[in-house]
Amino acid sequence: MTDFTFDGPIFQARIDLDPVVPLYVYLVKGATYAAWIDSGIKSMFPLLQATMDRAGVVPQDLRFVLHTHSHHDHIGCNAQLRAATGCLIAAPAYYAAWHADFERQYQEFARPFRRLMPDTPELRDEVFSFLDAPVPLDLHVDEGVLFDLGGGVTLRAFSLPGHMLAELGWFESSTRTLILGDAITGLDWPQFHSHLTVGGYRASLDKIRRLVRELDVQRILAAHFAPMTPAEADALVAHAHDYIDSVERTIVRFVAGQSAPVSLGAIWAFTCRHMERRQEFRALNMVHAHALDLLARGLLREPEPDHYTLR
């Protein structure tokens, strides 16, 4: 990957969530104020403070946390940042409840299919251990909103659903940098990173490619990838399209090979086994999204709830 320096107006904080999944969080500093794009996980707070110190950002300079999306590994320091600086929290309205009510976030994120996903201490810990405390959103933001941080540093939001049903990318104009959360998902991890709308994900991948050209983007920053050149981002987008294709192919072939309707749980188990990923809740959410997509396109039928046959 290409080496970029981060000496302003964008500053990088990075940790490893596990041996294969890094997490990058970015601070953007203008002449008037500064903003974090997402806040990482709760244990990162000392690193966020050190990053603000390095950037010369004093508490009253930090006006906003501007979210890409509302997953637990992107909102985990909101309460600590709010307490330390008084900053406001901005995110798409769709998942506002996830910021105010962590139990609801847990149930909707990890257990939308309760029969298949028992409520266990381990599952709870996976979600809750990244979060500090609930902070209701101060601002609901969507595509087109522009924050002028001063001195030519601006952040404009672009809608990029797919990984979640609402997600934003942020374009910083002075450095022509596109800052993403998980709009391009992890593709080669031991677990499926997941997407919740297949058509939305494909459209957002194409939109990223288009934005890079139209906005003359010079670098692409994403939460779980090292900084990318436009050529590197282009290659990753192509890889993501191939990945979606291979998930779809796996599901269609499995259902086609069965003589009776197959359950969502069976498709989930087969897809994880066949593609060598951990069988966990993100994969289940993703497989369900593919089932909905294939139903909408007329390739599958659902003769009884959550059971599928080839058309």
Mapped onto helix, strand or coil, the DSSP state of residue 29 is strand
**Inter-residue contact 267 to 302 (CB < 8 Å):** no
Query: What's the min distance (Å) between Cβ of 57 and Zn ion?
Result: 25
Smaller CB distance to Zn ion: residue 71 or 82? 71
**Inter-residue contact 68 to 95 (CB < 8 Å):** no
What residue number has its CB nearest to Zn ion?
71
d(CA 123, CA 129): 10
**Inter-residue contact 197 to 185 (CB < 8 Å):** no
Query: What's the min distance (Å) between Cβ of 206 and Zn ion?
Result: 20
Smaller CB distance to Zn ion: residue 9 or 162? 162
Smaller CB distance to Zn ion: residue 71 or 277? 71
Query: What's the min distance (Å) between Cβ of 180 and Zn ion?
Result: 11
Partners of 303 in beta bridges: none
Query: What's the min distance (Å) between Cβ of 167 and Zn ion?
Result: 8
Query: What's the min distance (Å) between Cβ of 269 and Zn ion?
Result: 23
**Residue ranges that bind Zn ion, judged by CB under 5 A:** 71, 182
Specify the residue for token string 């031991």: 190
Smaller CB distance to Zn ion: residue 278 or 311? 278
Query: What's the min distance (Å) between Cβ of 295 and Zn ion?
Result: 25
List the one residue out of 161, 158, 171, 182 whose CA is nearest residue 75. 182
Smaller CB distance to Zn ion: residue 126 or 148? 126
Report helix, strand and coil shares of the chain as percent, to nearest 5.
40, 25, 40
Is residue 298 exposed (0-12), middle (13-18) or buried (19+ Cβ within 10 Å)? exposed
Smaller CB distance to Zn ion: residue 29 or 69? 69
Q: Which DSSP letter does residue 230 get?
A: H
**174 Rama sector, left if φ>0, alpha if ψ -120 to 50, beta otherwise:** alpha
Query: What's the min distance (Å) between Cβ of 36 and Zn ion?
Result: 16
Query: What's the min distance (Å) between Cβ of 97 and Zn ion?
Result: 16
Report strand pairing: 62-66 vs 34-37. Answer: parallel
Smaller CB distance to Zn ion: residue 63 or 71? 71
Q: Which DSSP letter does residue 60 get?
A: G
> How many CA within 13 A on the CB side of residue 305?
1
The encoded tokens of residue 139 equal: 């601002």
Smaller CB distance to Zn ion: residue 34 or 223? 223
